[in-house]
């Protein structure tokens, strides 16, 4: 696919740092470890695992990933401050390949209003920060924050100084997503023309998506000679998000004739990784999302279907299997065995331990009794449910609700706590789901306000599984929960309990490593 004169573009993934800054996307330690391993399997060159000084939880997560995830460079973010840089090093030092990423804002707006620093002071601070990081680690990245709104003459000076101080990568962030593709091209081109030592560093871009231009701006930067792209799975990140990894990678691959550049991404792992990130962050991927959306390869119009049947390339520029959509949505059923389930799980991109496979298989049998055809979406949902790593203090046993138009629901609910089953009977709520939520709050003695709630169908048909997601507020903090069942009331009860279990985990004074970002926003 790649030509001999192709440039290799370094893929720097910041799903665990900038991506985690998406409202509602925080992940617990186990979830971050799982995502980090998936990123290695995907083939990303650099994983920005977090911002170690930001919180003890962030620090623990970066340190754990550095110690146990092998294959990619593990990077920690730091402001140009000694304490930040020391903490970042403490977190990444045990990685077999490590990087410290220091940043400092350079635009006039940030200099005047945020930092209250002059240009010379900024340059000196950048030099000191890069030197301190360099004292620890050969691989140092420097980012002039808000670079795209920085005067080009000053940006040129900053970049030269950072490289002289030892930066091996210089990243150009479009922090507020303000740039356009031609502007981004001009900035990268100008830096390559005007910074005398530019050959000693990799030029990188980091584009936010406020105007929906993050991918276009990143590709324009590559055209102008950038050698690294910073991006996130599903494009998650601050505000409107970051450059989407799957889009930019497939852009380079599909239009190799134009960009003459390639990455080492295993593109068949794009869909499984997208699903994993969506599942652990609770951020849904829109159906029409390029590359990984459910409709990305669906041809609805008759004229398109006719063309596709005659010759695939009439309407298809990429193959669905190249990005990891399984070739067929093979249906499993109650007679399918463990081997078939394991095979399907592998095809969908999940690596299950024998214990996880046992647990998923048990759930699969329960589901197969309720539902004749089990689709890929069902299997993925069962696996993700099994991989949800919140300690299960409370689990769902059963419910019964009597209700109707104009009637206050009467609910009986039973929950399990360890060996013990506890139950309650009460009336209240506007409908069966609200009634069950009230009963859960009463039984678990955990008051919570439901801030967001939705249910959607995982696959098709009247017997499709419903997946419910909730966001609860408890003592000023937000907690996510997710549950799946063929019964939408039960799915909702499970989602509510999942969020309650997150609250209980925090309250149980677990170590920071266990509680870090436990879905707490
Ligand atoms: O958007 C931004 O400027 C950042 C920097 C820390 C690179 O995320
Ligand atoms: Zn950013």
Q: How many CA atoms lie within 13 A of 130 on its CB side?
A: 28
Ligand 1 pocket check: which of 84, 158, 169, 206 to mutate, most ligand atoms within 8 Å of Cβ? 206
Distances (CA, A) of 518 to 33, 76, 507: 13, 20, 11
Distance 337 CA to ligand 1 centre (A): 48
Residue 509 confidence (pLDDT) above 80: no
pLDDT of amino acid 403: 94
Decide which of 368, 387, 406 is a domain's last residue. Answer: 387
Q: Is 387 left (phi over 0), alpha (psi -120 to 50) or beta?
A: alpha
pLDDT of amino acid 389: 64
Residue 102 confidence (pLDDT) above 90: yes
Strands 46-50 and 73-79: parallel
Same domain, 228 and 355: no
Evaluate: CB of 175 within 6 angstroms of ligand 1: yes
- Position 58 in a domain: yes
pLDDT of amino acid 299: 66
- Position 447 in a domain: yes
Strands 202-207 and 228-231: parallel
Same domain, 219 and 195: yes
Same domain, 169 and 217: yes
pLDDT of amino acid 4: 57
Distance 143 CA to ligand 1 centre (A): 7
Query: Which residues are within 5 Å of ligand 2 (an ion), measured at CB?
Result: 18
Helix and strand counts by DSSP (H, E) for the chain: 18, 16
Could you give the CA distance from residue 232 to residue 252 in angstroms, rounded to a whole number? 16
Evaluate: CB of 101 within 6 angstroms of ligand 1: no
Which atom of ligand 1 lies nearest, measured to the CA of 18? 8
Q: How is residue 334 annotated by DSSP?
A: T
Same domain, 249 and 312: no
Contacts of 168 (CB under 8 A, 6+ apart): 138, 139, 140, 141, 200, 201, 202
Evaluate: CB of 173 within 6 angstroms of ligand 1: yes
pLDDT tens digits along 407-453: 999 999 999 998 999 999 999 999 999 999 999 999 999 999 998 89
Distance 242 CA to ligand 2 centre (A): 7
pLDDT tens digits along 458-489: 777 777 888 898 888 888 877 888 888 889 99
Same domain, 59 and 137: yes
pLDDT of amino acid 510: 47
Distance 175 CA to ligand 2 centre (A): 5
How far from chain centre, in Å, is Cα 40?
Answer: 14
Could you give the CA distance from residue 157 to residue 304 in angstroms, rounded to a whole number? 53
Contacts of 146 (CB under 8 A, 6+ apart): 105, 106, 107, 109, 110, 173, 175, 176
Same domain, 17 and 119: yes
- Position 292 in a domain: no
Least confident of 41-50, 295-304, 355-364, 455-464: 295-304
pLDDT tens digits along 4-22: 579 999 999 999 999 998 8
- Position 400 in a domain: yes
Same domain, 22 and 109: yes
Distance 42 CA to ligand 2 centre (A): 21
Same domain, 276 and 416: no
| pLDDT cut 70: percent of the chain above it | 94
Phi, psi of 339 (to 5 degrees): -65, -40
- Position 520 in a domain: no
Distance 176 CA to ligand 1 centre (A): 9
Same domain, 192 and 317: no
- Domain enclosing residue 308, as ranges: 297-324
Same domain, 261 and 320: no
pLDDT tens digits along 163-195: 999 999 999 999 999 999 999 999 999 999 999
Evaluate: CB of 206 within 6 angstroms of ligand 1: yes
Which residue's CA is the nearest one to ligand 1's atom 1?
175
| pLDDT cut 90: percent of the chain above it | 66
Could you give the CA distance from residue 10 to residue 44 in angstroms, rounded to a whole number? 8
pLDDT of amino acid 387: 72
Q: How is residue 464 annotated by DSSP?
A: P
Distances (CA, A) of 29 to 33, 34, 127, 157, 512: 6, 9, 33, 40, 9
Tokens 């740039």 correspond to 179
Same domain, 128 and 111: yes
Ligand number nearest CA of 175 is 1
pLDDT of amino acid 267: 97
CB burial string 220-259: b at 16+ within 10 A, e below: bbbbbebbbbbbbbbbbbbeebbbbbbbbbbbbbbeeeeb
Distance 100 CA to ligand 2 centre (A): 16
How far from chain centre, in Å, is Cα 343?
Answer: 25
Q: For all residues of the chain together, what is the average pLDDT?
A: 90
- Position 518 in a domain: no
Nearest Cα to Cα of residue 466 among 481, 482, 477, 450: 482
- Position 516 in a domain: no
Distance 217 CA to ligand 1 centre (A): 15
For CA atoms 492, 417, 60, 47, give the dihedral sign: negative
Ligand 1 pocket check: which of 115, 144, 145 to mutate, most ligand atoms within 8 Å of Cβ? 145
Decide which of 340, 365, 387 is a domain's last residue. Answer: 387
| Alpha helices in 69-171, H assignment, sequence order | 82-92, 108-109, 119-136, 152-165
Could you give the CA distance from residue 206 to residue 229 in angstroms, rounded to a whole number? 6
CATH at 497: 3.30.160.270
Same domain, 119 and 167: yes
pLDDT mean over 22-45: 90
Q: What is the dihedral of CA 209, 215, 221, 226, to 10 degrees?
A: 110
Residue 502 confidence (pLDDT) above 90: no
pLDDT tens digits along 331-347: 788 888 888 898 888 87
- Quote the pTM value: 0.84
Evaluate: CB of 103 within 6 angstroms of ligand 1: yes
- Position 514 in a domain: no
Which pLDDT band holds residue 518 (cuts at 50, 70, 90)?
very low
Evaluate: CB of 79 within 6 angstroms of ligand 1: no
Structural domain total, the chain: 4
pLDDT mean over 118-126: 98
């Amino acid at each position: 696919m790649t030509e001999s004169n192709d440039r290799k573009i370094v893929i720097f993934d910041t799903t665990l740092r900038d991506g985690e800054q998406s409202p509602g996307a925080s992940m617990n330690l186990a979830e971050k470890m799982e995502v980090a391993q998936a990123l290695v399997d995907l083939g990303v060159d650099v994983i920005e695992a977090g911002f170690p000084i930001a919180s003890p939880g962030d620090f623990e997560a970066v340190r754990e990933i550095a110690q146990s995830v092998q294959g990619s460079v593990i990077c920690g973010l730091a402001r140009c401050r000694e304490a930040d840089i020391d903490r970042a090093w403490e977190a990444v030092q045990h990685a077999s390949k490590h990087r410290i990423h220091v940043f400092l804002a350079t635009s006039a707006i940030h200099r005047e209003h945020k930092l209250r620093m002059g240009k010379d002071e900024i340059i000196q601070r950048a030099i000191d920060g890069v030197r301190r990081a360099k004292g620890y680690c050969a691989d140092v990245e420097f980012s002039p924050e808000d670079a795209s709104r920085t005067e080009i003459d000053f940006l040129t000076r900053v970049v030269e100084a950072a490289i002289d101080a030892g930066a091996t990568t210089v990243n150009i962030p479009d922090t507020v997503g303000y740039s356009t593709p031609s502007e981004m091209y001009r900035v990268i081109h100008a830096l390559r023309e005007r910074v005398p030592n530019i050959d000693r560093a990799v030029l990188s871009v980091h584009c936010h998506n406020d105007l929906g231009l993050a991918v276009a701006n990143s590709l324009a930067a590559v055209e102008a000679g950038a050698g690294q792209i910073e991006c996130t799975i599903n494009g998650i990140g601050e505000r409107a998000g970051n450059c989407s990894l799957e889009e930019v990678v497939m852009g380079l691959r599909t239009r190799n004739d134009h960009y003459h550049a390639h990455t080492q991404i295993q593109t068949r792992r794009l869909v499984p990784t997208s699903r994993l990130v969506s599942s652990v962050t609770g951020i849904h991927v829109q159906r029409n999302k390029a590359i990984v959306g459910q409709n990305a390869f669906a041809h609805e119009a008759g004229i398109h279907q006719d063309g596709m049947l005659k010759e695939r390339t009439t309407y298809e520029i990429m193959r669905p299997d190249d990005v990891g959509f399984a070739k067929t949505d093979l249906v499993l059923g109650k007679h399918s065995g463990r081997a078939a389930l394991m095979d399907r799980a592998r095809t969908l991109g999940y690596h299950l331990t024998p214990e996880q496979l046992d647990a998923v298989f048990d759930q699969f049998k329960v589901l197969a009794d309720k539902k004749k055809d089990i689709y890929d979406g069902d299997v993925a949902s069962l696996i993700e449910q099994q991989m949800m790593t919140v300690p299960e203090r409370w689990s769902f046993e059963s419910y019964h609700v009597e209700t109707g138009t104009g009637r206050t629901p009467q609910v009986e609910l039973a929950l399990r706590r360890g060996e013990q089953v506890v139950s309650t009977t009460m009336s209240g709520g506007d409908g069966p789901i609200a009634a069950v939520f009230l009963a859960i709050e009463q039984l678990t003695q955990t008051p919570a306000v439901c801030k967001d709630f939705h249910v959607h169908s995982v696959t098709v048909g009247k017997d499709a599984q419903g997946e419910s997601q909730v966001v609860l507020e408890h003592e000023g903090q937000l907690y996510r929960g997710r549950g799946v069942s063929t019964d939408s009331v039960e799915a909702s009860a499970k989602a509510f309990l999942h969020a309650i279990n997150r609250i209980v985990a925090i309250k149980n004074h677990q170590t920071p490593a266990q509680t870090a970002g436990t879905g707490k926003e």
